[in-house]
Amino acid sequence: MAQIFHRSTNALSRITIFGGVFFLAVLIWAADQWTRSSYMTGQDVVLHQPVPFSHDHHTAQLGIDCRYCHTSVEESAFAGIPPTATCMNCHNLIWNESPMLEPVRQSYATNTPIQWQRVHDLPDFVYFNHSIHVAKGVGCESCHGRVDEMPLIYQAETLQMEWCLSCHRDPAPNTRPRDQVVTMGFDPKDHGVDPAQLAEEYNVQSLIYCSVCHR
Ligand code: HEC
Ligand code: HEC
Ligand code: HEC
Ligand code: HEC
Ligand code: HEC
């Protein structure tokens, strides 16, 4: 029987099949890059805030403890954002003419909270709780990075499931003494502690089953 297609179409179809597979691979790769991009995760993005509050200034330079402002981080799921009154403890006296602080004075005078934009925001189907992490000796730094070096705060990690799991599989290396949870630039060697031993002492578990975070 005569050939219906010329021999050269074999090569052609091979090229198209290969091209199709290649194109699909590129698409999948692009989609993966897209979901990991900071546009999707919010990582490293600095948001515009009503007041340019500097963590660098207030923590590293003035030495204010994180818990002075994020008061509920040890007892509750939420760390908490300080009310304007906390700012006014100092700013009714210091820099009380600064134009940069005008929205703070306005908020205080009119008793309306400052509308801070959320930097970290997990989807509603994920359960997260600060207190357990703090109680088990996980430092703020392990999840939020060097906040003391951020003039304007940003999300240091992806907050994707894989990131949570990478620690949950083996949290021991991220264990530090409970009284060091807010320390920035923590190095176990400076404190003569062994994270693995501490993890044992605090009975740190590896929690990776789905219902831990999806309830
Ligand atoms: C003087 C008060 C103050 C201190 C001290 C302070 N913070 Fe904050 N923090 C704030 C305010 C106000 C905001 C909200 C404005 C913003 O996001 O910049 C905030 C925001 C944050 C956020 C982002 C919240 C979000 O929207 O997701 C994190 C994380 C954070 N602080 C961690 C820390 C850590 C860690 C420390 C200690 C090293 C610390 N803060 C010390 C006042 C403070
Ligand atoms: C414990 C005292 C204290 C608290 C509490 C505090 N601040 Fe400050 N803040 C200071 C001091 C001191 C300076 C000025 C430091 C310098 O420039 O040397 C300052 C500077 C600032 C500046 C820069 C002002 C300018 O004109 O450069 C802003 C903005 C600011 N603070 C916002 C806030 C906000 C918002 C809060 C509440 C979440 C807050 N501060 C809480 C002590 C404080
Ligand atoms: C195990 C990781 C982890 C640790 C440790 C951690 N955080 Fe967070 N933090 C998060 C995540 C995740 C969110 C976002 C929560 C959400 O969207 O519901 C968050 C949100 C916040 C917020 C915004 C308000 C809120 O509660 O949602 C502040 C402020 C904050 N963290 C401060 C701190 C401070 C201060 C410490 C240390 C004492 C700390 N965090 C330790 C992961 C962590
Ligand atoms: C740097 C390490 C680390 C990271 C990152 C981390 N966790 Fe954890 N998480 C822990 C440790 C340690 C515990 C306590 C385990 C135990 O009970 O001994 C814990 C416990 C929990 C619990 C159990 C709370 C309870 O009451 O049973 C939840 C929920 C949780 N983490 C959610 C998350 C989520 C969601 C993320 C990511 C957004 C995350 N964690 C990221 C270390 C981490
Ligand atoms: C330590 C906490 C943690 C555990 C354990 C966990 N997840 Fe997640 N999961 C998350 C977080 C955080 C997100 C949100 C990720 C994001 O916003 O990109 C998520 C998102 C998801 C999503 C939405 C799709 C996606 O990837 O964004 C699915 C489906 C899911 N998880 C299924 C599971 C299943 C099934 C298990 C058990 C094998 C599990 N998760 C265990 C934290 C966890």
Instruction: Tokens for 129, please give them.
Output: 């709780």
What's the pLDDT at 28?
Answer: 75
Determine whether 57 is exposed, middle or buried from the number of CB atoms within 10 Å of its CB (0-12, 13-18, 19+): middle
Position 133 scores a pLDDT of 98
Instruction: Judge whether residue 140 has pLDDT over 60.
Output: yes
Instruction: Return the residue whose CA atom lies nearest to atom 25 of ligand 1.
Output: 119
Task: Report the nearest-CA residue for atom 35 of ligand 5.
Answer: 210
Q: What is the mean pLDDT of residues 96-125?
A: 95
Residue 188 buriedness (CB in 10 A; 0-12 / 13-18 / 19+)? middle
User: Could you tell me the CA-to-CA distances from 16 to 4, 11, 173 in Å, in that order?
Assistant: 19, 9, 50
The residue whose C-alpha atom lies closest to atom 11 belonging to ligand 3 is 120
Q: Ligand 1, from 61, 64, 65, 66: best to mutate by most atoms within 8 Å of Cβ?
A: 66
Percent pLDDT > 70 in the chain is 93
pLDDT digit string, tens, across residues 58-87:
999 999 999 999 999 999 999 999 999 999
CA of 79 to the centre of ligand 3 (A): 6
Q: How far is the CA of 63 from the centre of ligand 2 (A)?
A: 12
Place 102 in a pLDDT band, splitting at 50, 70 and 90.
very high
Point out the ligand 1 atom lying closest to the alpha carbon of residue 141.
Answer: 35
Q: Whose CA is nearest to atom 37 of ligand 1?
A: 66
- Does residue 12 have a pLDDT over 80? no
CA–CA distance, 45 with 155 (Å, rounded to integer): 7
**What are the pLDDT digits (tens) for 154-196?**
999 999 999 999 999 999 999 999 999 999 999 999 999 999 9
Give yes or no for residue 182 CB within 6 A of ligand 1. yes
pLDDT of residue 39: 75
| pLDDT confidence of residue 20 | 73
Based on the number of CB atoms within 10 Å of its own CB, is 55 exposed (0-12), middle (13-18) or buried (19 or more)?
Answer: buried
Among the bound ligands, the one closest to the CA of 116: 1
